[in-house]
Chain A
Amino acid sequence: MVNKFIRRFYTFLIFGFLYAPIAVLAVFSFNDSKSTAKWEGFTLDWYQSLFSNNYIMKSLYYTVLVALIASVVATIIGTFAAFGLFYMKSWKQKAILNVNSIPILNPDIVTGVSLMTLFVALNVNLGLLTMIIAHVTFCIPYVVLSVLPKLKQMPGEMLEAALDLGATPWYAFKKVIFPEIKPGIITGALIAFTLSIDDFVISFFTTGNGVSNLSIAIYSMARRGIKPEINALSTLMFLTVLVLMLILNKRTKIEEI
């Protein structure tokens, strides 16, 4: 009983910690002042000026576009990579995993600058394409690291068993392996999407020519103090994500049943 109470209380505290700053942003998005410190009355003005701000809207579009493409591409490449790695010779797997961990261990700023150096050397114009490539690059390792433990926890020789029973490799992958590693793939995809949408440093170095994501937009705008439009945007983003998650959550449950 006490145990359960402590557990609830702890959960409550952690979630409170996670959501408090978001709540603050949300509250101040209705503040009738440019200040994010003083409450000076209720307004919806910031939402209106948000939608008429071209720069923010364009950055939002690029952020979502890049995050979607990068997380999907990274998840697909990363899942198959984990699968291939799992069946590789141990030393080979180890060597590749070490390379795999470089973007994770490496400071973002070095990843960003090194990629920029590469793009510049290859004479590729910095922009949307280079940003997507950079995002895929730093997302893949997380997908691999999320999926590989799942494969390793899988009861041994499952693929062989399926193949012996006459399944084609693709069929065996789809029906035997995939269900086992699905939670890992979902975690990986979620992490990839989150990292991509959140990224500032790497994007900052690998984009150019007017293509900027939300982080860069916020960073540049913040030169003149934070804009309440951004508070409004984060509130909307939060609600969208929340609703989307809840819908997906419901959907998966029905599918499972």
Chain B
Amino acid sequence: MKKIFAVVLLVVLMASLFTGCSNSDQVVLNVYNWGDYIDEDIFQQFEEETGIKINYETYATNEEMYTKINKGGTQYDIAIPSEYMIEKMIKEDLLEPIDLTKIPNYANIDDQFKNLSFDPNNQYSVPYFWGTVGIIYNTNLIDGPIDSWDVLWDEQYARQFTMVDSQRDSIMVALKKLGYSMNTKNLDELEEAKQALIEQKPLVLAYVGDNVKDMLISEEASMAVVWSGEASAVIQEYDYFEYALPKEGSNMWFDNIVIPKGAKNIDAAHQFIDFLSRGDIGFLNADYVGYATCNIETMKLIDPALIGTTYAYPDKNLLENFEIFQDPGDFIVEYDRIWTELKAK
């Protein structure tokens, strides 16, 4: 037994020596991003070009990221939240201002993604990707046409489709189906949406986040409410899937790069944002993650076949009824309550 412990201790000792070897003078940039939302090979290139090492960590939801940053104990130099979360973080003074003069490649960003309402002068954020929420379906198993949220209340498709395990997106689906704004602060409308979701619950196979693509490919589910990039990834591999943008409208979202308050390496963070905004780097990322770029230079490199597809770069007229999430402020408790009550049923 003593020998076993001795061996174990030795291993531990060696392991700690191994960690001790890393160069402490080097600038290390702490990047906090959505899981699998960047081509990690570019880290190497960034390090070669600037000598700055990337320390990478991921999160699964905006809320998870917010909790970690808000409660402290961490120092991230870069994060990539969605619009309503950026709005909230600006309100709560959780972001460092960005000096756009230090980001020459900001010029590459398409003007339509600049100065959006959640960050009017891009004082705090630089656009990364954008996308939509829609319905992906397996054309072998589902007879179209799918063009409305109503199909998710249709008995015909019972236990064949999944919803998103994200409160704002799922409530958005019900609100849009009912013809209301997804940013509503009207309690009656929300209550109606809740009833609709409760009515829908027996028909839903599952509320999923992480594994929806696997479920679609393995035909566990024939139809799903997804973010466009997930649809893009599935469709580019399996062409019998299609992605529909419901006519009632849906969520159009933007993920922007920010520098959280308390960041230690603000200069390096600017360098990294500039790096990400470069056309070629943007292309590597867009190609890897499947979402739609906000970068003009990257657009020039994108496979032209993607333009006009529902899942990557849809026609403007399809996005007519689409909205952008706003931070509901304290009203979020009502969304929380509805979501909790729905789940608890």
Give residues in A with beta carbon < 8 Å to B: 34-38, 54-55, 61, 64-65, 68-69, 72, 116, 119-120, 124-126, 130, 182, 185-186, 208-212, 219-226, 248, 251-252, 255
* B72 is an interface residue with CB less than 8 A from chain A: yes
Q: Name the residue of chain A whose CB is nearest to the CB of B36.
A: A224
A126 touches B73 (CB 8 A): yes
Q: Which residues of A contact B15 (CB under 8 A)?
A: 61, 64-65, 68
Contact across chains for B36 and A120 when beta carbons are under 8 A apart: no
Asked if B57 and A212 sit within 8 Å, CB to CB, the answer is yes
The 5 listed contacts between A and B (C-beta, < 8 Å) are A125-B75, A209-B55, A220-B59, A223-B34, A224-B210
Instruction: Tell me the B32-66 residues at the A interface (CB within 8 Å).
Output: 34-36, 40, 55-60
Q: Would you give the 0/1 interface string for B123-156, flagging 1 where the beta carbon is closer than 8 Å to chain A?
A: 0000000000000000000000000000000000
With contacts A69-B12, A210-B30 known, what are 18 further pairs, Cβ within 8 A?
Answer: A35-B218, A37-B220, A38-B218, A65-B15, A72-B9, A119-B73, A124-B73, A185-B1, A209-B57, A209-B74, A209-B76, A210-B55, A210-B56, A211-B57, A220-B35, A220-B58, A220-B59, A252-B1
Which among B3, B210, B219 has the greatest number of chain A C-beta atoms within 10 A?
B210
B230: A residues at CB distance < 8 A = 224
| Residues of chain A within 8 A of B19, CB atoms compared | 65
Instruction: Provide the bound-state CA to CA distance between A140 and B73, in Å.
Output: 25
Q: Closest approach, in angstroms, between the C-beta of A114 and any C-beta of chain B?
A: 13
Give the complex CA separation of A61 and B75 in angstroms. 22
CB atoms of B73 and A208 under 8 A apart: yes
In the assembled complex, how far is the CB of residue A51 from the closest CB belonging to chain B, in whole angstroms?
Answer: 14
Determine if B73 and A125 form an interchain contact, defined as CB atoms under 8 angstroms apart: yes
Which B residues touch A119, using CB under 8 A? 73
In the complex, A68 Cα to B19 Cα: how many Å? 15
CB of B23 within 8 Å of the partner chain: no
Determine the chain B residues whose CB is within 8 A of the CB of A55 once the complex forms.
40, 56
Given contacts A225-B214, A248-B4, contact A120 B57 (CB under 8 A): no
Q: Which residue of chain B is the closest to A174 with respect to CB atoms? A: B2
B12 touches A225 (CB 8 A): no
Interface of B is mostly: mixed
Encode contact with A along B56-89: 1 for CB under 8 Å, 0 otherwise.
1111100000001001111110000000000000
A174 to chain B minimum Cβ distance, whole angstroms, is: 10
Docked complex Cα distance between A45 and B19 (Å): 29
Q: Is the CB–CB distance between A208 and B1 below 8 Å?
A: no
Number of residues in B with C-beta < 8 Å to the partner?
42
- The smallest beta-carbon distance between B345 and chain A, in angstroms, is 22
Min CB gap A194→B, angstroms? 14
Residues of chain A within 8 A (CB-CB) of B35 are 219-224
- B74 near A208 with CB under 8 A, answer yes
A208 and B56 contact, CB distance less than 8 A: no
Pick the contact of B210: A35, A116, A222 (CB < 8 A): A222
Interchain CB contact under 8 A, A224 and B75: no
Q: By the criterion CB–CB under 8 Å, are B58 and A224 in contact?
A: no
Q: How far does the alpha carbon of A182 sit from the alpha carbon of B56 in the complex, in Å?
A: 42
Question: Is B112 positioned at the interface, with any CB of A under 8 Å from its CB?
Answer: no
Chain B: minimal CB distance from A85 (Å): 21
Q: Answer whether residue B213 sits at the interface, using C-beta atoms and an 8 A cutoff.
A: yes
Contact, CB under 8 Å: A36 / B73 = no
Chain A, residue nearest B18 (CB): A61
Question: In the bound complex, do residue B57 and residue A224 qualify as a contact, i.e. CB atoms below 8 Å apart?
Answer: no
Q: Does B8 contact A (CB under 8 A)?
A: yes
Smallest CB-CB separation from B73: which chain A residue? A126
Distance of A21 from chain B, by nearest CB (Å): 16
- With contacts A69-B12, A208-B57 taken as known, whether A223 is within 8 angstroms of B73 at the C-beta atoms is no
Separation of A126 and B262 alpha carbons in the complex (Å): 14
Nearest 9 Cβ contacts at the A-B interface: A37-B218, A220-B35, A210-B55, A208-B74, A220-B58, A126-B73, A225-B214, A223-B35, A225-B213
Contacting B72 at CB < 8 Å: which of A61, A120, A248? A120
Q: Is B217 at the interface (CB under 8 A from chain A)? A: yes
- Which residue from chain A places its CB closest to the CB of B238 in the assembled complex? A35
Q: How far is the CA of A222 from the CA of B210 in the complex (A)?
A: 5
Given contacts A69-B12, A226-B214, contact A221 B57 (CB under 8 A): no
Q: Cβ of B97 < 8 Å from any Cβ of A?
A: no
Contact among B56, B217, B237 with A37 in the assembled complex (CB-CB below 8 Å): B217
Most B CB within 10 A of own CB, among A65, A120, A219, A225: A225
Residue of A65, A210, A248 near B57 (CB, 8 A) is A210
